[in-house]
Amino acid sequence: MLVSSEEIMAESAQAYDQVIAQAKAQNALNTNAAQTKRVKNIANKLIAKAPLFRADCANWDWEVNVINSDEVNAWCMAGGKIAVYSALLTELNLTDDELATVLGHEIAHALREHVREQQSTETLKQGAFQIASLFGVDNTTLQLGQVAANLGLTLPFSRSHETEADELGLELMYDAGYDPDAGVSLWTKMMQLGSGNEGLAALLSTHPADSSRIENLKALAQKLKEQPRR
């Protein structure tokens, strides 16, 4: 790949720090103590199991934050930099198991360096490597969609990337003690809410929901329940 792991992790760390600083400046960072504690508790359980899938991630400087936003989204940058947008929790009314499914999926993308692969492809197309140049943050509103775009987080994941993240993410959350059947209930909610929901549109553009995905998640859950947790 044209973009090295070191490049993508360094750029992601710098970009994440700017996102968090902007959120803090706008009083949009971890504004609900109970909500933040819940997200961090679940994320930390998954992070503890992540080295089962990639040993060197035990040395990552993991961070988990909740950003107050109307956008229904969450992501995990290279190196374990996680952000959950508050609307993800409120609009979908997520259970702990469903939230663990989302976090597991996003962590899986980072463990398998899917964004690095995307950026390498974009480098070939554009002849330049730019992850975090312009953040598009004005004085009153966090332009989180623009931030995500500049991080490569709005590029649609390939079908193979999504399948891999579904499989690894569900196994990760299962090993962390959560119910893998939540994958089905989560994506059923996503389909029911649909792309007509403005806040959910960005997430569905990069993570399409359809019946075949739900059937695959159902089969994955059944397979996992037949094996012991690690």
Q: In the structure, what pLDDT confidence band is assigned to residue 213 with cuts at 50, 70 and 90?
A: confident
The pTM of the full predicted model, rounded to 2 decimals, is 0.82
* Long-range contact pairs involving 213-220 (C-beta distance under 8 Å, separation at least 24): 213/162, 213/166, 213/187, 214/184, 214/187, 214/188, 216/163, 216/166, 217/166, 217/170, 217/183, 217/184, 217/187, 218/183, 218/184, 220/166, 220/167, 220/170, 220/171, 220/180, 220/183
The tokens for 199 are: 């806040």
Contact between 187 and 213 under an 8 Å Cβ cutoff? The reply is yes
Give the pLDDT of residue 116: 58
Predicted local confidence at residue 105, as pLDDT: 96
Confidence of residue 83 (pLDDT cuts 50, 70, 90): very high
Structure tokens belonging to residue 171:
């196994």
Q: What is the mean pLDDT of the chain?
A: 82
Comparing CA positions, the residue from 57, 72, 151, 58 lying closest to residue 112 is 57
Angstrom distances, CA of residue 138 to CA of 25, 153, 157: 11, 20, 28
- Domain edges within the chain: 5-225
Which range has the top average pLDDT, 7-21, 41-55, 185-199?
41-55
> If you count them, how many residues does the chain have?
230
Of 139 and 73, the one with more pLDDT: 73
Q: Which residue has the higher pLDDT, 147 or 168?
A: 168
The confidence score (pLDDT) of residue 72 equals 87
DSSP assignment letter at 54: -
In terms of Cα–Cα distance, which of 80, 86, 96 is closest to 41?
96
Per-residue model confidence (pLDDT) at position 139:
36
Return the pLDDT at 128.
40
Tens of pLDDT along 173-192?
A: 999 999 999 999 999 988 88
Q: Which residues contact 41 (CB under 8 A, 6 or more apart)?
A: none
Counting residues of the chain whose pLDDT is more than 70, the rounded percentage is 72
Give residue 12's pLDDT band: very low, low, confident or very high (50, 70, 90). confident
Q: Is residue 88 predicted with pLDDT exceeding 90? A: yes
* 136: helix, strand or coil: coil
> pLDDT value at position 16?
92
Select, from the ranges 79-88, 121-130, 136-145, 158-167, the one with the highest average predicted confidence (pLDDT).
79-88
DSSP state of 199: G
Highest mean pLDDT: which range of 40-49, 76-85, 111-120: 40-49
Sheet holding 81-85, edge to edge: 63-67, 81-85, 74-77
